Structure 1
Amino acid sequence: MWRGGATAASAARALRSRLIPDTSHHPATALAPIASPRSSSSSSSSSAPTIAAAVPAVAEATAAAAAVSRQAGSVSDALRHYGRCYFELSKARLSALVVATSGAGYVLGSGNMVDIAGLCCTCAGTMMVAASANTLNQVFEIKNDAKMKRTMRRPLPSGRISPAHAAMWATSVGVAGTALLAWKANGLAAGLAASNLILYAFVYTPLKQIHPVNTWVGAVVGAIPPLLGWAAASSELSLNAMILPAALYYWQIPHFMALAYLCRNDYLAGGYRMFSFADPTGKRTAWVSLRNCLYMLPLGFFAYNWGLTSEWFSLEASLLTLGLTIGALSFVLEPTPKTARRMFYGSLLYLPAFMAGLLLHRLPNEQKEHNVTQTSEITGILYGAEQQDEERARQKREDRKSSRIHSRPPVAYASVAPFPFLPVPIYVSTQGHEL
């Protein structure tokens, strides 16, 4: 009997393990009820059409989601691609330097108070015009850039964007930037921006392949943005406005001479005519750099003497220029790539330090303050005249109203006509006589 009972118990346990799965191995079905064969057969027969109908809907939804995901990915990739191309076409770092000089000119041309909204609009317009000029420069120099190691990966030589697309981008941002300056600043600032774009894209760019004088023309292009900012702030140009443009003009000569000396083989491969090509020893290039550094020495004194800055700036500017001059002198004494590179990096440090000193020690633009005061006085006079005219008109209206009241009392006639049985009232005139 014991064997029979053990056999029956083992058979029961086996049947139970088949009907009820182990919860440790099948946790998902641990709480599911065990349905009877009749109910399970009926439920499976009823749910089969539902599952069959749901499968195509799920597949369609999955395909639609995948298509939307692919489309979103393609749009995101396109935006990223063209954004990168626009960034490189605009030469964003160089354009940022142009914007910084324009903003410095705006602050220098302002009075005691700087119009922040006007400053932002001027910087935005300058940025767009600079981006347009740099893009047109690359459109015209596709073949030349393709021959140079440092430019062959640009968007146009590498084929990442078409020339027509780049030209449309340059035209749109150039027109928008000029229009913004004309709307928010004045016509003088917009005219300077448009002339600078034309000078850079249509004069300097082709001249780079014709004559070495292109370096000096490019220096003029770089000196105009501070004038643009000054004109946007004060609506005019004065002698004080020439300090920062002069510093930028003379600074660009040693800066580009050092760059042309370091990259002369690359420029030669690209077909550009640079001053350093006819100077294999580098002596003439070094002397040109030193001469223009010497031209910058008195600028700090002029800024103080003309009332643009305090006297401290004359000392600071002289020390800064003296340091750059020492770098140019070392280039003259030993014209090697090492000394040229040292002068180049020194020029990169010089310009932001010079502009920071100008802004730190600047004095308010007296002409701007005079114009503001004069405008306020004229506005006050016009406002006072308008107030007097309004007062006179109001006094005349009151006089006419009072004269009508005294000349003909309306109540006398109105009281008699509708009610003839009432006695006629007696009125007294202004002279005191009875009517």
Structure 2
Amino acid sequence: MWRFSATLSFSSRLLSSSFSTNPNYFHHGFAFSVFALNGVVEPPLSPSYQRFCFSSSAPSPSPSSGSVIKLWFLADKSEAFRPLSSKARDAIQLARHYGRCYWELSKARLSLLVVATSGTGYVLGSGNAVDLAGLCCTCAGTMMVAASANSLNQVFEINNDAKMKRTRQRPLPSGRITVPHAVTWASSVGFSGTALLAFKANMLAAGLAASNLVLYAFVYTPLKQIHPVNTWVGAVVGAIPPLLGSVAASGEISLNGLILPAALYFWQIPHFMALAYLCRDDYAAGGYRMFSLADPSGQRTAAVAFRNCLYLIPLGFIAYDWGVATGWFCVESTLITLAISAAALSFYRDRTTQKARRMFYASLLYLPVFMSGLLFHRLSDNQRCLADNPDRIVELSSTSQDLTESGEDYQKKKVRHLTAGPQARSPVAYASIAPFPFLPVPSYVDP
């Protein structure tokens, strides 16, 4: 309070002395700078506004004491809200920065693809009804485990990513986040995702998630710099999420639940072979031992891709034969598999960048079409049982007819029982109706 009165009296004397020598001395910018709290000077006014204030054609009138106090109050109010807005702005910028870093560390697009395969496996393993809460928990747990695995992958490959054009701007090589921070983030989300699957699904699903995390981060990642077999190990990693979803729904590993994992395994080989051929120079600069680097002509790379495309053809027939989907899915799966096989064959005949890119795009189209068709044409448990045993329809209808007839006979007997006299009933022996002595003995039964 004392500082307020002292500052106000000093400012009044300063203004009065200034007005006595120059009546046009006062202007808005000076008033706000004089009455700013703690000596904080307001930012300068815009050039146009300064020209207006200092213009001789628009002289500033001499302020009264009330206007001076009013201007001081407005300046005090603006300064009081300045620290709060600055802190909120800094908090928002910090949240955006780390949110962006977490998004890139998690390889969110790839993780969402993993979640899609896991959710599809959950629906396929659900039988007649899908538990939506269980589906959401399974997808959330899979997302967290996938984010953890991708983050640890970038922690181990920070030096390799710094040498590649397409990865040098990631959070760790660019220095936007520290290694301990990234490890803490990966460990926390990985543990949380595994715990969520253990409590909301089952321990088998949680075990598959933890095993896939270890396989990806601690086996596949270092193997990329050692031997080209890393591609096939990575295909196993990609095939586990749909199996995880099926196990989370059914609680067991079944043959029907292996169709989608098999499709994921064989699909990843041509998909990644096309990518490795397109980015072979970048992989060589990063120090990765990919299959395409030992194949300058690209013939072996294209042959491996084409061979694994052919392995996808029987999956539609197997799904139909095992009662997982209808015959329409068999047709659709065959058509889409022939399309990606044709792209792989074209790449095998003419090993150019354009043909490899076409096969890569064909592989991107194959997976969503295959999973969508499998979901759309899937058979529930009841439909599967009826498809396996068509005679049960006749059996069920005959059973219902027998029940109807027995109900009619019961009604007829009940009418006869009510209308008939005592002479129509015959006596019943004690032993035939009441074998136990403590039960009451019925007198008569209907003939």
Q: Deviations over 1:66-89 (max 9, x none)?
A: 111111110110011111111111
Cα distance, 1:53 vs. partner?
A: 6.2
**Which residue, 314, 321, 324 being the options, matches 2:330?**
314
**Which residue, 226, 237, 242 being the options, matches 2:253?**
237
Cα distance, 1:60 vs. partner?
A: 3.4
Cα distance, 1:367 vs. partner?
A: 12
**Structure-2 change in CA distance of 1:197 and 1:309 (3 Å):** same
Any residues of structure 2 matched to 1:279-294 within 5 Å, and which?
Answer: 279-294=295-310
Letter in 1 for 2:288: Y
Cα distance, 1:96 vs. partner?
A: 0.5
Cα distance, 1:61 vs. partner?
A: 2.8
- Between the two proteins, the alignment pairs up a number of residues equal to 324
What residue number does 1:26 align with? Answer: none
Aligned residue for 2:187, secondary structure, equals: helix
Compute the TM-score of the two structures, normalised by the length of structure 1: 0.72
Any residues of structure 2 matched to 1:77-156 within 5 Å, and which?
Answer: 77-156=93-172
Cα distance, 1:318 vs. partner?
A: 1.0
**Which residue, 264, 269, 279 being the options, matches 1:248?**
264
Cα distance, 1:310 vs. partner?
A: 1.0
In 2, Cα distance between equivalents of 1:337 and 1:204 = 27
**Which residue, 334, 352, 355 being the options, matches 1:336?**
352
Any residues of structure 2 matched to 1:20-419 within 5 Å, and which?
Answer: 48=65, 58-365=74-381
In 2, Cα distance between equivalents of 1:368 and 1:57 = 79
Cα distance, 1:246 vs. partner?
A: 0.4
In 1, Cα distance between equivalents of 2:323 and 2:212 = 28
In 1, Cα distance between equivalents of 2:217 and 2:105 = 13
Aligned residue for 1:358, secondary structure, equals: helix
In 2, Cα distance between equivalents of 1:225 and 1:56 = 65
Which structure's CA Rg is the greater one?
Answer: 1
Alignment RMSD: 1.9
Cα distance, 1:64 vs. partner?
A: 2.1
Compute the TM-score of the two structures, normalised by the length of structure 2: 0.70
Cα distance, 1:220 vs. partner?
A: 0.2
Cα distance, 1:154 vs. partner?
A: 0.7
Q: Deviations over 1:152-186 (max 9, x none)?
A: 11111111111111111111111111111111111
Q: Matched residues, percent identical?
A: 70
User: Which consecutive aligned stretches of 4+ in structure 1 deviate over 3 angstroms post-superposition?
Assistant: 50-60, 365-369
In 2, Cα distance between equivalents of 1:94 and 1:364 = 30
In 2, Cα distance between equivalents of 1:209 and 1:61 = 61
Maintained 8 Å contact 2:128/2:382: no
Cα distance, 1:56 vs. partner?
A: 5.4
What residue number does 2:23 align with? Answer: none
Aligned residue for 2:313, secondary structure, equals: coil
Aligned residue for 2:330, secondary structure, equals: helix
Cα distance, 1:121 vs. partner?
A: 0.7
Aligned residue for 1:178, secondary structure, equals: helix
Maintained 8 Å contact 2:114/2:143: yes
Letter in 1 for 2:231: T
**Structure-2 change in CA distance of 1:365 and 1:96 (3 Å):** farther
Q: Deviations over 1:12-55 (max 9, x none)?
A: xxxxxxxxxxxxxxxxxxxxxxxxxxxxxxxx9xx84x766666
Cα distance, 1:313 vs. partner?
A: 1.1
Gaps of 5+ in 2: 1-61, 386-447
Cα distance, 1:366 vs. partner?
A: 6.8
Q: Deviations over 1:178-219 (max 9, x none)?
A: 111111111011111111011001110010011000000000
Identify the structure with bigger relative contact order (alpha carbons < 8 Å, sequence gap 6+). 1
What residue number does 2:407 align with? Answer: none
